[in-house]
Structure formats: structure tokens, C-alpha cells
Homo-oligomer: A and B are copies of this chain.
């Protein structure tokens, strides 16, 4: 496939230097369907990126599309702040019946604004308000968002520097396996908590991703998550699971923490919760934490009703039974097998892979190799990004709805890209 340089002029002339993905993927995309994107020059791309996790059901999923078009055509309320609407009620009822009740989760639902960072900001505000403490513990290589509250618990030094002010009230702790198994889990954290002379400001909460997507596809073991939940309970800290990228079925179960059998105090959801890639997010919390005053946190786009419509449609279509979870785990095994073969094919490169469900990472001893592989994959028609503090991880994030054939096709392109960057 040959890529003709697209007419990027207005982007380059008008858009801020902060733009990023358009630099790695110099195309102008026009249409998309399922796991395929099409640029204006007629090229087709297989998508192993899925809107950074916002498109678990694929592009313009026909089931959701039908519901959305029907709603828009009949002039359903589009913008609703936090007014009651029939679309919101339908979503809440589906969420309760399909997600919360079968899992015995007691959560209240907050619409904190339609982006992930809104959900995290609301979670942190509530935790601090409930506990009357300022400090939050986060983990190495965490990613929680770009507004100041979220950024303060995000690990990446480059993004932190963008704040322009010192980021305080957060303390990083080692994520699972951060110290290569040389230190017992939570030894340092627990010691800080039990010692009145440790200097650690007592945390209101701990915020964690079960799999750190942006941080490099770092997978926490279920045991580690259980020990963390136990630590939080024993030490009077709230446990916040940021399930923005890993929730909505990315790891198999609807919530990524289900496998560990824990019930976080607060959960954030965004990205794929709306189903169709339009902005939506939720902050969930145990009812006893719901000490918000009416209107104490607000926001114009909390009630993005078209997203409620597609969100409800997605829940009904995909989560009313356990098929989606099973399918994701099966697809995950397909990926693991392919990555296993790929790594075996490249001895001496330090090629390794890790992941859960349908999120996988591939690394090499040569940390620059990941970016080269992703670039070559793009030339070969595969959209795949890198993550990790040094962009050293090839990150596979196909749609959950991808067919086995498409998945196989993408894995073959990936394998070719690896070979061609040797």
C-alpha cells in the first residue's frame, strides 16, 4: 500500500502543535465500520487501536447506530444537563438490571461530565470530602487524565510538566511487579501507614488501574488487587478503580476488577461506556459515600443523551448474557498464541508479551523497536499504537467485536512489521 501525502495543510496551519496521533498516522480518515477505517484516498486500515479503548464495539456498530438514528430522527432530547429524560432513565434501568444487580454491586451513579478526567476529578473530590484528607496514593505509571486533579495522580513526567504548577497531594507507590519481585507486595506502603513517624500524609484514597494501558500494559495480578483492597479496608482508605480504559469488557468481564472478586468503593467508567465513541462517563460509588450536596459538582455535558441511547443499546445487545465475556477471553487466547509464536520467532530480541482479555503489550530489549513496529504496521495498513513511559510497548487494543479472521489478519501484519523492523 502506498500512502499519498494527504492535504494536511489546514491541520498544520491551524491546529495547535499539541496534536499528536495525526503525526503518527498521517492520513485523513473519512469513514469507519467495525474494525476498519477508510481514509479519503481510499486506503483501508485494520484497527487495533479502537479509539484508545473508546470503541470496544467497533466503529459505527450497526445495532447502536440504528438506536441512535431512531432517537435523533424522532427529536429525542439531545442535550439535557442533569434533567430527567427518558433516554437517561432507560440507560439507568439497563445499567442497573444488566450491570449492577447481577454482580451484586450496590453503586450509586453520578454523571460527572462526559470525559474520563471529569469522572476521575469527581472521584477524587468525593473521596477527599468523605475522608476529610487531601492525600491520594496512586501508582507508578498510572494515567488518570489531564485536568489538574487527575494529572496530579498521573505518573508521566512529560505530561506532568504541562501543568505549569507543582502537582501535590499525591504520592506514588509501586504498581504490581514494579520492582521485579524483589520486594514483598505493599511492604513499603503498609510500613508507611503503620508508622506514625513515616512522614506520609494519611491518604483519603488509593486510585488504581487493574491494567495500566497508557502506562505500558502493566497487568496487576488478582492477588495483588485483593491485597490492595484489603489494605485499603484495614487502613481506612477508599479504593478507587479507574476502569475507564479497562472496563466495559476490555479484560473479559464487564468490570476489570471482577476477576479479583473485589468491590471498590469508587469506580470510574468512560471511553466505551457510551458504546458508540461519543463522550460519556460515570462515577460509581457505594451509597454511604454519596454525601454530595445537590449541584456541588456540575457540568454542561453531563447529560449527553445520544450517548445514553447508544450506551443502553450496547448493554442490551452485548451484556444481557455472558457471551461477550467468553468471546473476549477466547479472542484473547488467540492473541496470546500469536504473540507467543511471534516472540519465539525472534530470539535474542528480548521480545516479550503480556496482557489480559483483549489488551496486550509487546516489548523488545531495544526500546525504540516498538515505535518502529507501529510505524511499519501503519504502512502495512494496521493501526496500532505504543504506550509506556518510553513508548516502548506495542499496544494491541482491537475491538471486542472483531472477528477471528480480522484478528488473525492484524496479528499477521504485526508479525510482518516485527520482521521488517529487525
Contacts and interface: CB of A to CB of B under 8 A. Distances in A.
A173 to B, nearest CB: 9
A109 B14 contact: yes
A75 B158 contact: no
Interface in A156-189: 156-172, 174, 178-179, 182-184, 187-188
Contacts of A93: 10
Contacts of A19: 82, 294
A306 interface: yes
Contacts of A270: 300
A313 B72 CA distance: 16
Given A172-B199, A201-B160, A51 B300 contact: yes
Q: Which among A11, A18, A153, A279 has the highest number of chain B CB atoms within 10 Å? A: A18
Interface string A49-72: 001111100011000010011001
A89 B69 CA distance: 24
A195 B141 contact: yes
A3 interface: no
Contact of A162 (B32, B160, B297): B297
Contacts of A304: 278-279
Interface in A1-20: 6-8, 10-11, 14-20
A389 B116 CA distance: 29
Contact of A75 (B33, B78, B290): B33
A84 interface: yes
Q: Which among A17, A113, A279 has the highest number of chain B CB atoms within 10 Å? A: A279
Interface stretch (A23-31, A257-265, A342-350): A23-31
A346 to B, nearest CB: 25
Given A15-B92, A59-B75, A85 B30 contact: yes
Q: Which among A31, A83, A162 has the highest number of chain B CB atoms within 10 Å? A: A83
Contacts of A139: 199
Contacts of A124: 164
A16 B300 contact: no
A195 B25 CA distance: 27
Q: Which among A10, A138, A290 has the highest number of chain B CB atoms within 10 Å? A: A10
B114 A115 contact: yes
Given A54-B300, A166-B169, 7 more contacts: A28-B85, A51-B79, A113-B115, A140-B198, A166-B166, A174-B191, A278-B306
